[in-house]
Amino acid sequence: MGEKPFGCSECGKRFSSRSKLLQHMADHTGEIPFSCSLCEKKFPTNWSLKKHMIGHNGVKSHGCSQCGKTFFWVSLLRRHQLTHSGEKPFSCTVCGKRFISKKNVENHEKIHTGNQPFSCSVCGRKFTYKGSMKDHEKIHTEEKPFSCSVCGKDFARARFLKKHEKIHSREKPFSCGTCGKSFAVKGSLTAHEKIHTGVKPFSCSQCGKTFFLSSSLRKHERIHT
């Protein structure tokens, strides 16, 4: 139980299956050899491609008993159901942040390794995640396809729009358990709470300076380039 016989030759991290190892290796090599014939999206393993292809048949056969939302895969349904219970069983071994799935915590922990294999083709800025790099590259094109329905302000990323829209509602449902300060966005609360703990989990690989937030670390690292 819990055996992880497949080891990465680059960093030593171990996995329970060969497919998970291959998926991880793509972070080091950047190779994503399997392409979807319908949308051209690429995948590091044939298994992940087959799983993706289910989404093209249009049938979401797994429904949530709480809210009725449907999903292509039972694994996504189980993950979704945790949002109703509030349970976050997986925690980061470095900073303690909790997540609803093992995959989310594994993606998060990449931040702490300092490994940034994806580079912007325009300015060279490096990123831990390919999705973050693609989001960033929109800055160079000046493309802002997401518009606020209230004030018309445009945004390059959907999550920026969602964060902005909460300003109009003036709701601040997330409160700090230590000082009572309230926030419109849960991420802002999480970042604020680190001030009370004094823990600065993000450190610069060049000079060793530590930071509460990964965004502050990235901003600092620019002085070394």
The answer to whether residue 137 is domain-embedded is no
The answer to whether residue 75 is domain-embedded is no
104 is written with which tokens?
């989310």
Domain boundary among 18, 41, 58: 58
The answer to whether residue 42 is domain-embedded is yes
- Our count of domains for the chain comes to 2
Q: How far is CA 125 from CA 113, 132, 136, in A?
A: 17, 11, 9
Report the distance separating Cα 108 and Cα 147, nearest Å. Answer: 28
CATH number assigned to the domain comprising residue 212: 3.30.160.60
The answer to whether residue 74 is domain-embedded is no
pLDDT at 1 over 60: no
The answer to whether residue 153 is domain-embedded is no
pLDDT of 206: 86
Single-letter amino acid, residue 158: A
**179-200 burial string, b = 16+ CB within 10 Å, else e?**
eeeebbbeebbebbbbeeeeeb
For 39-62, what is each residue's pLDDT tens digit?
A: 778 877 777 787 777 777 767 778
pLDDT at 188 over 60: yes
For 134-156, what is each residue's pLDDT tens digit?
A: 878 877 877 788 888 888 888 87
* Three-class DSSP category at 4: coil
The answer to whether residue 49 is domain-embedded is yes
Report the distance separating Cα 87 and Cα 219, nearest Å. Answer: 33
* Three-class DSSP category at 117: coil
Domain boundary among 43, 58, 73: 58
Report the distance separating Cα 54 and Cα 50, nearest Å. Answer: 7
Give phi and psi for 207, each to the nearest 5.
-120, -10
Domain boundary among 18, 39, 58: 58
The answer to whether residue 23 is domain-embedded is yes
Mean of per-residue pLDDT scores for the chain: 82
Range of the domain at 213: 172-225
The answer to whether residue 131 is domain-embedded is no
Query: What pLDDT band is residue 169 in, cutting at 50, 70 and 90?
Result: confident
